[in-house]
Amino acid sequence: MAEIGVVEECSDPSNMAALRAAKNALRANIKKRIAALGEQEKLRQSDVVTRKLMVHPKYHSCQRIAIFLSMPDEIRTEKIIDDIFQKGKACFIPKYQSKSNHMDMVRLATALEIRSLPLTTWNIHQPSEDDEREDALATGGLDLILMPGLGFDKNGNRLGRGKGYYDSFLERCLKHPKGKPYTIALAFKEQVCEEIPVTENDIQIDEILYECT
């Protein structure tokens, strides 16, 4: 896999345009790499990542887990969600607000319930705005967040899709009495880069699970 070099961390406003350009170029590059993967390869790597998670000590010890509902260019999470319920853990999924970068993690009752949830403009299932559910941060907090993203580096830096949902949510987690949950990104190996451009507002993740080659 070819590695991609990017600009250093930058907080100077005069350099923010260059930073945004670097992020956008990297997003485009990673999207092309993922688009080149066949469906069977995506499923194969998803199974590898799922098996790695199943034997991870953090996954075994955590009881309140937040997980994303995967899009076609992301590691498939259906088997993980099934396992969360089989092990009797509490499962929380994102509920995005389309007009802001606010996201809550709300409780899912069963794995089968996902199919009946409305679709967002991104073609992701999520509870509707008037669907009142247990909010993770309003109750017992979270032990573990399984993170999506477009790109990651081995220093824990993450490249999202530019909306800031997860960074904003993690900032709120830092203020919760329980503190920041452990964060594990689930990724195709094509998403792992040499370096991700970051700002001081980007929050690092604890670990990345992917197929090592």
Q: Which residues are annotated as a binding site for ATP?
A: 23-27, 158-166
Rounded to 5 degrees, what angle do the CA atoms 172, 72, 99 make? Answer: 40
The encoded tokens of residue 130 equal: 């008037």
For residues 9 and 197, give the distance between their C-alpha atoms in angstroms, rounded to a whole number. Answer: 6
Annotated binding site: 23-27, 69, 74, 158-166
CB 27 within 8 A of CB 151: yes
For residues 107 and 66, give the distance between their C-alpha atoms in angstroms, rounded to a whole number. Answer: 9
Which neighbouring-strand residues pair with 107? 92
**Secondary structure (DSSP) of 1-61:** ------PPP---GGGHHHHHHHHHHHHHHHHHHHHTS-HHHHHHHHHHHHHHHHT-HHHHH
Annotated binding site for substrate: 69, 74
